[in-house]
Amino acid sequence: MQMRDIGKSGIKASAIGLGTWAIGGGPWWGKTEDKESVQAIQAALDSGINFIDTAPAYGFGRSEEVIGKAIRGRRDKTVLATKCGLWWHDNQGVEHFKLEGKTVRRILNPVTVRQELEMSLQRLQTDHIDLYQTHWQSPRPEQEPIHETMQCLLQLKQAGKIRAIGASNVTLDQIKAYQAAGSLDSIQPRYSMLDRAIEKDILPYCRRSNISILAYSPLEQGLLTGKIGMDRKFSATEYRNTLPWFKPENRCRVLAMLSSWQDLTAKYKCSVGQLVIAWTLAQPGLTFTLCGARHANQVEENAAAGSLMLSSENIKRMRKDIEALGPPL
């Protein structure tokens, strides 16, 4: 497994991280079993993945609680990342979405940030968070300016509650605002070979500034594993139903591209998903990939991609195929 630095924090983590949104369950992901989730997390640690990313909003605390159980006795071997900024405990903040009878709001007030951190520490059964990230940015920066949020995070770091600071779902201007007020160690944007928007400006800026990039959804919710065929159906409330690449007219195009790489999977003795993860990690400035999994066998397959090194020729060939695919119809 490749090990990489999280910004300038001095923390080294596995290039492949375990994303735990689905482990939280709920209508977006369907039924999950905590026992299987614990087994998946422990399989990740056994397979060389020491980086686990979660958030309070994943199952309204359930994901963090399951992780806390799974890493008991192995906390010192785990790099924990969680988040703040999505709040459902009272009417503070600006409405973001409703789910399971709860109204989730966006707020990055220092008071609620500190409250969220304490709740996360309790659920995760730990006394510190390795990487603490703002989940979604405040829609009212005039009331919750980034410099105040950063000041709060720096104070938490000085107190030993957190070790590194990150921001998710940020624009370039927001990244620069964080940098002006302190120092970001990482950002967490959406990125996959089907969604490369950050390559235009965010990725180059982060490379120059030594800000790590944690790519979420690198496998496009499983589509880029090649295992979701044309016959697969999703319930009306399932998250994947909202993604344009899952529409039949787009899914067939993606599957055709993946099928054209059969010679590469044979050459590297890997699965399609492993090939895609390795390509993603090979992109300059792309530091980590966060791969979701709910079962031990999925985790073990993803982890094996952490030692897969593609030739420059094959990386270029795959990018050419990806660019030829174009945007979703």
Query: Comparing C-alpha atoms, which of 276, 273, 225, 230 is closest to residue 252?
Result: 230
SS3 130: strand
**Does 132 qualify as catalytic in the annotation?**
no
Q: Which of 58, 178, 191, 216 is catalytic?
A: 58
> Which backbone phi and psi does 147 adopt, to 5 degrees?
-65, -30
Which stretch of DSSP H or E encloses residue 314? helix 312-325
> E strands of 42-93, at which residues?
51-53, 79-84, 86-87
The position carrying tokens 């490379």 is: 207
Pair of tokens at residue 13: 């983590």
Q: Is the separation of the CB atoms in 189 and 215 below 8 Å?
A: yes
> What residues are annotated to the active site?
58
